[in-house]
């Protein structure tokens, strides 16, 4: 699996922690889309990079991290074929994959501990989409007309 990860300054430390966890796993190819330090930056710049990579099929999935995860969620869901899910626990991570086939995981560094975040990532990566009735619902979402 190819995975893009990005964060603003509010999620930079957790991003580094998650990259280290994923590299220990060794099964996932991780591309770091920034930011590269704790200096203040604008979250839309980094959310866009990861969401575009997922939308264009450059990577299979993405992870975005900011202070709360709200801003990154808003940015990512503006892109075609992106289904970004803000997850705060194991259950929401599991359901985002099983029922929604989320291809971008969003987390907030200021609302999660590293241990919980690591569990969320592991669950999100390992959980498969169930398809069936859930695919029918995703198809309906795909038919919605974008707002102008």
Positions marked catalytic:
66, 99
Residues pairing with 66 in the sheet = 108
* Distance in angstroms (rounded) separating the CA atoms of residues 63 and 7: 8
> Strands of 29-32's sheet, edge to edge?
29-32, 2-7, 61-66, 104-108, 84-86
Residue that has been written with the tokens 């989320």 in this structure: 102
| Cα dihedral sign, 31-17-97-65 | negative
Angle at CA of residue 40, ends 70 and 18, nearest 5°: 60
């Amino acid at each position: 699996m190819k995975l893009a990860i990005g964060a603003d300054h509010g999620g930079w430390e957790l991003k580094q922690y998650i990259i280290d966890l994923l590299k220990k796993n060794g099964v996932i190819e991780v591309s770091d889309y920034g930011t590269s330090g704790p200096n203040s930056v604008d979250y839309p710049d980094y959310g866009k990079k990861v969401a575009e990579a997922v939308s264009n099929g450059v990577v299979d999935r993405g992870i975005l991290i900011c202070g709360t995860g709200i801003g990154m969620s808003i940015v990512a869901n503006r892109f075609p074929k992106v289904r970004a899910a803000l997850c705060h626990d194991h259950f929401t991570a599991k359901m985002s994959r099983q029922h929604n086939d989320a291809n971008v995981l969003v987390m907030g560094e200021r609302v999660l501990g590293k241990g919980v975040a690591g569990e969320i990532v592991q669950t999100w990566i390992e959980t498969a989409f169930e398809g069936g009735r859930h695919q029918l619902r995703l198809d309906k979402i795909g038919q919605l007309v974008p707002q102008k």
